Amino acid sequence: MRILYCGDVVGKAGRSVVLAHIPDLRRQLDLDFVVVNGENAAHGFGITEEICRTFYDVGVDAITTGNHVWDRREIIGYIGADRRLLRPLNYPEGTPGIGANVYTTADGRRVMVMQVMGRLFMDPLDDPFAAAEKALRNHRLGVSVDCIIADIHAEATSEKLAMGCVLDGRVSMVVGTHSHVPTADARILPGGSAYMTDVGMCGDYDSVIGMRKQTAVARFTSKMPAGRLEPAEGEASLCAVFMETDEATGRARHVAPLRIGGCLPPQWPV
C-alpha cells in the first residue's frame, strides 16, 4: 500500500496548500490512503466540521488532532459522529470521539489509524503506551488489518522514539506530530516499522512554527502581553511522509519525507 501522512495544518495557508496538492499527489504517487493532522487548521487553533469536509472532498481519508482538538468548542458536538476525525486515545474515558479506527479502502484493504498524545511537557493525560497497547489488542498487522498507522502527538523527541521502539514490528508506521518542524530521521526500524520523529507542518515557514513572527518574538523578548498569536499567511509548504508497505506483512518497504512549496527546499519521495 502507498500511504501519505501530512503534518499539522496551520491556518488558511496550511489548508490552502493541502487542498491544492492532495488531488494531484493521490494521482502522482498512486496513493491508497491519506491522513492529515488538522488540529491547527482553524486559524491556528482547532478544527471545524466545515474544514473536515473540505479535506474529505479533496481525498483525505482520515484526520488526526492533538492538544488543540477542543479549541473550537463546536467540535465537541460533532466529533462523535465523524469516525474519520480522531482525537488522542489517551484522553480520559468518556471523552467524546475516538482515538483509533479501521477504514476500508476502495479496493477492500483495511487501514487502522491510531493516535496517542505524549505526556512530557504536555497535558497530564492517561498513559499513551498503555493506550496504544489496548488499541492493538484486537488487531494484528498482516492478519486483521493490512496497514496500521500510529501518530504520537508529543513535545519530547525521546517520548516519540520510545513509542517507535515499543510499536516496532507491530505497526506499519509510527509518525510524530506537534513540533511543526520536520526531522531528518525518516527510516525503517529494525522490526520493519517506518518511523519519523516529526513530519513537520503544512503552513508558512516564514514564521515561528506557523505563527506571525512579530507577535511570537515579542512574547519571548519582552515577557509582556503581545497580543493574540495569528497564523502566518505567506506561501505555505506541505510537509508529509510517504510510506509504501509490503503487501504480505503490512510492514514498511520504503519511507521518505515529501515537501512541496514555500521556503523549505523541495523533496520528493523517490
Alpha-carbon Rg for the chain, nearest whole angstrom, is: 17
Kindly tell me the burial class for residue 193, based on how many C-beta atoms sit within 10 Å of its own C-beta (0-12, 13-18, 19 or more): buried
Query: CA 153 to CA 120: how far, in whole Å?
Result: 11
Q: How far is CA 202 from CA 76, 157, 167, 245, 263, in A?
A: 24, 20, 26, 24, 12
Angstrom distance (rounded) from CA 157 to CA 105: 32
Q: Give 90-97 contacts, CB < 8 A, sequence gap 24+.
A: 90/116, 90/117, 90/125, 90/126, 90/127, 90/128, 90/130, 90/131, 91/117, 91/125, 91/126, 92/125, 92/126, 97/69
In 71-152, alpha helices (H): 128-135
What is d(CA 96, CA 213) in angstroms, rounded to the nearest whole number?
Answer: 35
Tell whether the torsion through CA atoms of 143, 139, 168 and 148 is positive or negative: positive
Q: Rounded to an integer, what distance in angstroms lies between the CA atom of residue 152 and that of residue 132?
A: 10
Catalytically annotated residues: 68
Give the 3-state secondary structure of residue 76: helix
